[in-house]
Structure 1
Amino acid sequence: MAATALEISQLSKTFRSADTVTHVLDKININLQKEEFVSIIGPSGCGKSTLLKIAAGLDVDYEGSVQLNGMRITGPSKEKGFIFQEHRLFPWLTVEKNIAADQSLKDQGVRSRVDEMIELVRLTGFEKAYPKQLSGGMSQRVAIARALLRHPQVLLLDEPFGALDAFTRNHMQESLLDIWRQNKTSMMLVTHDIDEAIFLSNRVVVMDARPGRIKAIIPVDLLYPRNRISPSFQELRAQVLSALNHVEDDNISWHI
């Protein structure tokens, strides 16, 4: 049995203001195994992004237990990488300097690692380019390279391809799979796209809303690379869609 990288147990989250109390997450239980790829899908407002931020250590006000390699997560750390919906690159820095972030390229170890990441995300030749000179897909590849630079054990991705066109999105999914296979980093992805979840993942977690709960966890027992129009892929797609159709939410919008 594979070792557990990220363990989320009985996780609950409540937002409180002067006159309202909003229960966002209710007793969430998910284990992310080492070198596993898990996708989380569910309606807007079900707490997917909140769950990811808690796992990243960006929100520590919750009930339950969130552990990385058996140690409670108490804040951000180099063991956890996070990719936001927007690439959040520094517009005044080149690709290589964005990837290095707060580290100096004069350090030969950093320089070597940055070069390795540029090759990994297929941006060789764009080292000196600025974000304004990059496409949306290229910018997200820079963000992924920056997150991977410190060898995180877990990479958390919050709808990183949501703003891309369909062609670029498919290409980025294939690139992410290549990175996952080469880097052997455990990954957890939040998405609204059913095909994306099945194409990438070992398991798909379907969430219910208000408050967010686990509706179903569906194994994806398909070999890579995956054919989106194969009968087995479409069968899994129908299974995920069936689970989503039973989610209690009045404003569901799926990429199907």
Structure 2
Amino acid sequence: MSTALLEIVDVSKTFRNSNEAVPVLDRLKLTINQGEIVSIIGPSGCGKSTLLKIVAGLDVDIEGRVLLEGEQVKKPSQEKGFIFQEHRLFPWLTVERNIAADLSLRNPETRKKVDQLIKLVKLEGFEKAYPKQLSGGMSQRVAIARALLRNPKVLLLDEPFGALDAFTRSHMQEALLDIWRENRTTMLFVTHDIDEAVFLSHRVIVLDPRPGRIKTIVPIDLPFPRKRTGSAFQDLRTLILRALDHEEPDKETYTI
């Protein structure tokens, strides 16, 4: 039986300035189970990245609640790893020191875990390299390893592969699934790429335009590894595209 890990309960968010109030999210309700990869997709401005920041505890000026293992999220913590579109590595630190961040590599436990993560993200031989010596995909691998070092309960990924070329992006998607198979880390993944969402996810959440509301939840009942050219894959891609194009969803296929 699946265990609920993350609960988003009637979350609404409004940005305010001196002239107006701009609603961004409206009464979002979503449960994510332990070990799931859930992608969020929707038009620009529908609140995808804002939702990730709320789940991370970076924005608590909201209506509603976010619960992680039943405890309300009120601030950032090591339980929630965050991967941005840009890797945000420290340019003056090597790969291994970027992964360790504020932890000392002289600590045997830290040293062991960093070495394990370098192997997991397939960066053996680049431990002493600096960010300027890495490709974009390799830099994102370092960022993912850094987030995993502290054993987060949920990994939040905000368009992490959006700046990569198509070949590297595909390679990184495979790498992320390798990490998931190894650790079964729960992931909440924001993307604009329908193929990426279908390739990676157990479920795809389609949001309406601003204010963001859940329009449709599409279960991706395909075994891993998935073939992008397969008919079932393409059918799911088409269903999500129809939802994004504001066509009426097929009630037999979509789960609301």
Which TM-score tier does this pair reach, normalised by the shorter chain? Answer: over 0.9
1:16 alignment counterpart:
16
**The residue matched to 2:240 in structure 1 has which SS?**
helix
Asked if residue 54 in structure 1 is aligned to residue 54 in structure 2, the reply is yes
2:230 alignment counterpart:
230
Per-residue displacement from partner, 1:152-173 (whole Å, max 9, x unpaired)? Answer: 0100000000000000000000
Matches within 5 A, 1:141-152: 141-152=141-152
**CA offset at residue 17 of structure 1?**
1.0
Q: Aligned AA for 1:133?
A: Q
Divergent runs of 4+, >6 A: none
1:90 alignment counterpart:
90
1:171 alignment counterpart:
171
Distance 1:212 1:170 in 2: 28
Distance 1:133 1:88 in 2: 15
Distance 1:6 1:66 in 2: 7
2:28 alignment counterpart:
28
**CA offset at residue 96 of structure 1?**
0.3
**The residue matched to 1:31 in structure 2 has which SS?**
strand
Distance 1:158 1:26 in 2: 20
**CA offset at residue 34 of structure 1?**
0.1
**CA offset at residue 18 of structure 1?**
1.1
Matches within 5 A, 1:36-51: 36-51=36-51
Asked if residue 203 in structure 1 is aligned to residue 203 in structure 2, the reply is yes
Distance 2:209 2:12 in 1: 13
Q: Aligned AA for 1:231?
A: S
Distance 1:177 1:20 in 2: 43
TM-score by length of 2: 0.96
**The residue matched to 1:109 in structure 2 has which SS?**
helix
Q: Aligned AA for 1:100?
A: A
Q: Aligned AA for 2:91?
A: P
Distance 1:218 1:196 in 2: 14
**CA offset at residue 184 of structure 1?**
1.1
2:105 alignment counterpart:
105
Where in structure 1 are there 5+ consecutive unaligned residues? Answer: 248-256
Distance 2:190 2:77 in 1: 20
1:75 alignment counterpart:
75
**CA offset at residue 122 of structure 1?**
0.3
TM-score by length of 1: 0.96
The count of aligned residue pairs is 247
Distance 2:198 2:67 in 1: 26
**The residue matched to 2:113 in structure 1 has which SS?**
helix
Distance 1:207 1:98 in 2: 35
Asked if residue 115 in structure 1 is aligned to residue 123 in structure 2, the reply is no
Distance 1:32 1:175 in 2: 22
**CA offset at residue 19 of structure 1?**
1.1
Higher deviation after alignment, 13-22 or 151-160: 13-22
**CA offset at residue 215 of structure 1?**
0.8
Q: Aligned AA for 1:31?
A: T
2:251 alignment counterpart:
none
**CA offset at residue 148 of structure 1?**
0.2
Per-residue displacement from partner, 1:84-139 (whole Å, max 9, x unpaired)? Answer: 11000000000000000010001011000100110000000000000000000000
Aligned-residue RMSD, C-alpha? 0.7
Where in structure 2 are there 5+ consecutive unaligned residues? Answer: 248-256
2:218 alignment counterpart:
218
Asked if residue 133 in structure 1 is aligned to residue 133 in structure 2, the reply is yes
**The residue matched to 1:177 in structure 2 has which SS?**
helix
Identity across matched positions, percent: 68
Distance 2:213 2:89 in 1: 33
